[in-house]
Amino acid sequence: MTLKSFISFGIALCCILLTGCERQVSFSADVKPILDNYCVSCHSGAGEGEAASGFSVDDYDSLMQGTKFGKVVVPGSSMSSSLYLVVTEKVDPKIHMPPHHDESLAEGRGFALSRTNIETIGTWIDQGAKNN
Q: Applying CB under 6 A, which residues contact ligand HEC?
A: 38-39, 41-43, 48-49, 52-53, 55, 67, 72, 82-83, 86-87, 95, 97-99, 109, 113
- What is the phi-psi region of residue 69: left when phi exceeds 0, alpha when psi lies from -120 to 50, beta otherwise? alpha
**Contact 49/42 with Cβ under 8 angstroms?**
yes
CB of 95 to ligand HEC, least distance (A): 6
Residue count of the chain: 132
CB of 104 to ligand HEC, least distance (A): 6
Nearer to ligand HEC, 47 or 127 (CB): 47
**Contact 101/93 with Cβ under 8 angstroms?**
yes
CB of 30 to ligand HEC, least distance (A): 14
Sign of the torsion angle spanned by Cα atoms 73, 78, 84, 86: negative
Nearer to ligand HEC, 37 or 131 (CB): 37
